[in-house]
Structures are given as structure tokens and as C-alpha cells.
């Protein structure tokens, strides 16, 4: 979807200011926001692609005026309401008014390190890759109303396959509870000039991960 999150190559948002690699949080509430998101995810109502889509679907005025973890909290509110775990009355009151629907699936504090260490592997058995390293490919110029991991700046562009990663969960379907539908995943490299025209730095390249259904032979 062409949402407010898709900022690659756009002007008007100021420079990217790198932070110290050791900076994890800017305020104590951000730690709680991360913890709440992990705990709510353990309830099993949604997957990582659903949660990402919820963040990307926020109205632009909210997305652009919220911090990173502010976006997470607003999306979590949407997810919890959609799952029936949070009512409008509870949100307005600021506290629970009834037991949760899946209280038996609470994430215990001592279980958190194990959950984080396990991560969320996405590799699955799937079809044989249709492209090989070195192949020239053109990304499709699709404008889906739902979730996609193909950024707008890289649509209808020609690049080169530089890595093949096997088959992985297809986020475009998984984000809408339509199944994992695993398909081959590649790294595709583009020149900056291909992506941004004559203003692109000829010494730079940009690589993205792209699922096979995003690609055609160039």
C-alpha cells in the first residue's frame, strides 16, 4: 500500500540523522510500549506482518506526528480493539473492565528472553527459485491497496539479483490472514541512477529484498 511509511527517496522530511548504536530508548515509556507489544503479540491474535500493516495503515497526520514507539502504541490500540481484547470504554477509562479473552496466554516475564532469542523465522519449504544470481529483473509497478514490502521508489525499475534466500513467508498475504503462501526471496541491487534518475549518485547502489511475485525478467 502507498502509505505514509513509504518515504524512500522522498523530499521534504529533512535529513536522516544517525544515532549512537547504543541508543535503544529515549524515554521510560518507550520500554513499556515495547513490552506491551510483545505481551499482546503472545496472545496469538495476529502475526508480525499484521502488526506491521497496522502501523503502516495509520492516518498520515498521526504517523508523521508520532515517534517510533508512539506509532507502535497507536497500532497496538487498533489491533487490540480489532481482536476484542480492548473496548472503547476501557480505552477511555484507561484500565481493564473485564478479563482478557486469552488471559491463559499471558507472556510471563521470565519467558521474555526465550521469546526474543527464538525470534520469528520466516523460511519455509516452497517452490524452486525462478531467478538466479546475476539475472537482470524488472520490478512490477503494482499499487496494491493492502500490504506490500516493495517500496514505491523501487517499482518498475531494473536491477540485478545478487542473492537467493530460499522460500519465505509472503508478507502481502500473511498481513491479511490469507496464509503464509511462501515463495522465493531475493536480494536485488539497483544503481542509484536507475532509482533516482540523473540526480542519482553514480557511485552508489541500493539493495532491497524482493519476493518472486514482485519480479519479471528484464
Closest CA relative to residue 75, chosen from 36, 102, 106, 104 = 36
Q: What confidence tier does 113 reach under pLDDT thresholds 50, 70, 90?
A: confident
Topology annotation, domain 136-217: SH3 type barrels. (2.30.30)
Q: Is the pLDDT of residue 17 over 90?
A: no
Q: Which three cell numbers stand for residue 180?
A: 503464509
Q: What confidence tier does 199 reach under pLDDT thresholds 50, 70, 90?
A: confident
Q: What number of H helices and E strands is found in the chain?
A: 8, 5
Closest CA relative to residue 208, chosen from 154, 141, 137, 130 = 154
Q: What is the DSSP string of 159-214?
A: EEEEEEEEEE--HHHHTTTS----EEEEEEEEEHHHHHGGGS-TT-EEEEEEEGGG
Percent of the chain topping pLDDT 90: 76
Q: pLDDT for 126-169, tens place per residue? A: 999 999 999 999 999 988 889 999 999 999 999 999 999 999 99
Q: Which three cell numbers stand for residue 151?
A: 517500496
Q: Is the pLDDT of residue 104 over 90?
A: no
d(CA 56, CA 40): 18
Q: Which CATH architecture has domain 28-118?
A: Orthogonal Bundle (1.10)
Provide the residue ranges of all domains of the chain, joining segments of one domain with +: 28-118, 136-217
Alpha-carbon 169 to chain mean position: 13
Domains 28-118 and 136-217 are alike in CATH topology:
no
Q: Which three cell numbers stand for residue 122?
A: 520466516
Amino acid at each position: 500500500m502507498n502509505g505514509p511509511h513509504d518515504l524512500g527517496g522522498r523530499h521534504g522530511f529533512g535529513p536522516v540523522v544517525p544515532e549512537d548504536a547504543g541508543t535503544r530508548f529515549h524515554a521510560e515509556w518507550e520500554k513499556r510500549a515495547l513490552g506491551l507489544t510483545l505481551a499482546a503479540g503472545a496472545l496469538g491474535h495476529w502475526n508480525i506482518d499484521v502488526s506491521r500493516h497496522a502501523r503502516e495503515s495509520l492516518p498520515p497526520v498521526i504517523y508523521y506526528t508520532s515517534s517510533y514507539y508512539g506509532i507502535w502504541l497507536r497500532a497496538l490500540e487498533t489491533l487490540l480493539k480489532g481482536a476484542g481484547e480492548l473496548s472503547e470504554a476501557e480505552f477511555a477509562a484507561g484500565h481493564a473492565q473485564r478479563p482478557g479473552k486469552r488471559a491463559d496466554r499471558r507472556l510471563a516475564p521470565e519467558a521474555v528472553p526465550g521469546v526474543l532469542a527464538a525470534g520469528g523465522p520466516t523460511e519455509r519449504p516452497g517452490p524452486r527459485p525462478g531467478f538466479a544470481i546475476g539475472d537482470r529483473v524488472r520490478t512490477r509497478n503494482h499499487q496494491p491497496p493492502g500490504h506490500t514490502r516493495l517500496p514505491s521508489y523501487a517499482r518498475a525499475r531494473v536491477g540485478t539479483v545478487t542473492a537467493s534466500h530460499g522460500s519465505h513467508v509472503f508478507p502481502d498475504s500473511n498481513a491479511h490472514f490469507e496464509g503464509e503462501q511462501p515463495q522465493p526471496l531475493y536480494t536485488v541491487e539497483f544503481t542509484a541512477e536507475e532509482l533516482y534518475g540523473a540526480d542519482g549518485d553514480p557511485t552508489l547502489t541500493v539493495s532491497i529484498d524482493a519476493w518472486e511475485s514482485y519480479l519479471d525478467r528484464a
